[in-house]
Amino acid sequence: MNILVINAGSSSIKYQLIDMDTELPLASGLVERIGLEEGVVKYKTFVNGEKKELKETFPIPNHTVGLKRVAELLTDEKVGVISDPSEIQAVGHRLVHGGEAFTKTVEITEAVKAKVKELFPLAPLHNPANLIGVEVAETVFPNAKQVGVFDTAFHQTIPEKAFRYAIPVEFYKEMGIRKYGFHGTSHKFVSEQAAEYLGKEDAKIITIHLGNGASMAAVNGGVCVDTTMGMGPLCGLIMGTRSGDIDPAIIFFLAEQKGYSVNEISSLLNKESGMKGLTGQTDMRDVEKLLDEGDENAILACDMYAYRIKQFIGSYAAVMNGVDALVFTAGIGENKTSIRKLVCQDMGYLGIEWDEEKDKNRTDGVHEINTDNAKTKVLIIPTNEELEIARQTLEVVK
Ligand code: AMP
């Protein structure tokens, strides 16, 4: 079976066609700059070991035009990987916010779409775009089943004492203000691999997803019991451009002292803060260059970045009454040695002992970077959210 995985944003569609017999991608790419003057379609295939890559630039007024072009490329005589769109049996959609309504992956029906619409206020940037992706896929691939995989679903097991905020009850009851958490697909994917690697179903695992967005999860026996993001993705860890946790009083202070509007404060905390605010650079590779130059802001920013992670490791070890493994994943988690080193430093009381040599000699798949005698495993596990979405989609449609 071939499953197309779609992640639709307001002006982009990320896609990957996966052959579920091999679990390998047949083709993948990105439609970008939808609605702008010059749209871009990027397309890559990997069939029979042969790699083909192309990039097209033309006006893409809406998502339908973009996805139709992807369907043409997938079935193209020269670069295509299937002969007819009907060879795509299911489309798995990344849906960001499932609120309390969705605790697992579901086939998308009219009722599901209506519920996703109801949740727009909770994820005003993501859910509307995700839903456009669904509606467009329904027209471009009318024979395929459409399945929704929610970023929040894995976190729905978090107990009430952890997901509630101490504000008047009605704000939870009437407006759904509570912690939801995100990156659930990734936390689920890597925590399951870690448990399998440990050979321990009831393992206590702390997953650390460090990409452009970043979050951690405490997973006890396969069940998520806490996570660092909240009602939205702004809180918890320091990220590329997001502040992570700050004292909420800062918001009032900025409004009062600077006269900033809600939008201005939102933009400051979501787009101008985090590593960008501290160093001027969003991408960790650029922060790394600053570190090499001895830039003091960059040194402090990395210390702060790692310190916040350490704080949550302590917190989650306390919450689970122990920890069997830490898992580093996503762009920074998988690639940035210096952050792993800073995080694991002076954590002997939790049995965490980082091994530099093992970290240097990276292998594919699950890679252990703790010393031989360490009580707690420290693992690098590459995340693969597309594959996890495809696997869950398959479970629903088979
Ligand atoms: P993601 O959101 O998982 O794609 O991760 C994006 C982040 O990972 C960016 O901040 C990148 O700078 C970072 N990243 C990717 N590759 C590397 C690398 N080799 N070394 C350091 N950071 C990296």
210 is in an annotated binding site: yes
The residue whose C-alpha atom lies closest to atom 4 belonging to ligand 1 is: 331
Predicted confidence (pLDDT) per residue in 286-324, tens digit:
999 999 999 999 999 999 999 999 999 999 999 999 999
Q: Which of 84, 151, 202, 355 is catalytic?
A: 151
Rounded to the nearest angstrom, the distance between the alpha carbon of 81 and the centre of ligand 1 is: 29
CA distance 335 to 331: 6
Contact assessment for residue 353 and residue 374, using Cβ atoms and an 8 Å cutoff: yes
What confidence score (pLDDT) does residue 27 get?
97
Q: Could you give the percent of the chain with pLDDT greater than 90? A: 96
User: Is the per-residue pLDDT at 47 higher than 80?
Assistant: no
Going by C-beta distance under 8 Å and a sequence separation of 6 or more, which residues neighbour residue 49? none
347: three-class secondary structure by DSSP: strand
pLDDT bin (cut points 50, 70, 90) of residue 48 is confident
Tell me the best of 276, 284, 383 to mutate to test the pocket of ligand 1, counting ligand atoms within 8 Å of each CB and taking the most. 284
AA letter at 337: T
User: What is the number of alpha carbons within 13 Å of residue 335 lying toward its C-beta?
Assistant: 9
339: three-class secondary structure by DSSP: helix
Element counts in the chain: helices (H) and strands (E): 15, 14
Secondary structure percentages of the chain, helix, strand, coil, to 5: 40, 25, 35
pLDDT bin (cut points 50, 70, 90) of residue 340 is very high
Nearest by Cα to 268 from 233, 242, 297: 242
Q: Cβ–Cβ contacts within 10 Å for residue 298, how many?
A: 22
What confidence score (pLDDT) does residue 169 get?
98
| 247 tagged catalytic | no
What confidence score (pLDDT) does residue 378 get?
98
335 is in an annotated binding site: yes
Predicted confidence (pLDDT) per residue in 254-265, tens digit:
999 999 999 999
Rounded to an integer, the average pLDDT of 170-175 is 97
Rounded to an integer, the average pLDDT of 367-385 is 97
283 is in an annotated binding site: yes
Contact assessment for residue 228 and residue 243, using Cβ atoms and an 8 Å cutoff: no
Cα-trace Rg, the chain: 22
What confidence score (pLDDT) does residue 12 get?
94
Mean pLDDT score of the chain, rounded to an integer?
96
Q: How would you class 148 by CB atoms within 10 Å of its CB: exposed for 0-12, middle for 13-18, buried for 19 or more? A: buried
Contact assessment for residue 342 and residue 313, using Cβ atoms and an 8 Å cutoff: no
Contact assessment for residue 278 and residue 304, using Cβ atoms and an 8 Å cutoff: yes
Nearest by Cα to 214 from 116, 315, 309, 320: 309
Q: What's the DSSP call for residue 354?
A: B
Predicted confidence (pLDDT) per residue in 101-122, tens digit:
999 999 999 999 999 999 999 9
Please report the DSSP string for 258-303 in residue order: H---HHHHHHHHHHS-HHHHHHS--SHHHHHHHHHTT-HHHHHHHH
Instruction: Report the 3 state secondary structure along 12-71.
Output: CEEEEEEECCCCEEEEEEEEECCCCCCEEEEEEEEECCEEEEEEEEECCCCHHHHHHHHH
For the record, the structure tokens of 59 come out as 């006006």
What confidence score (pLDDT) does residue 70 get?
96
CA distance 135 to 8: 11
Predicted confidence (pLDDT) per residue in 67-90, tens digit:
999 999 999 999 999 999 999 999
Rounded to an integer, the average pLDDT of 340-354 is 98
Rounded to the nearest angstrom, the distance between the alpha carbon of 396 and the centre of ligand 1 is: 32
Rounded to an integer, the average pLDDT of 157-176 is 98
* Ligand 1 pocket member 335 (CB < 6 A): yes
What confidence score (pLDDT) does residue 46 get?
83
Q: Looking at the chain, which runs of residues are DSSP E strands?
A: 2-8, 13-19, 24-32, 39-47, 50-58, 88-95, 106-107, 145-150, 204-210, 214-220, 223-227, 325-329, 367-368, 377-380
User: Is the per-residue pLDDT at 49 higher than 90?
Assistant: no
Atom of ligand 1 at shortest range from CA of 287: 12
CA distance 39 to 43: 13
183 is in an annotated binding site: no
Rounded to an integer, the average pLDDT of 56-77 is 95
What confidence score (pLDDT) does residue 110 get?
97
Domains, the chain, in order of start with CATH, read: 2-150 (3.30.420.40), 199-380 (3.30.420.40)
Rounded to an integer, the average pLDDT of 23-49 is 92
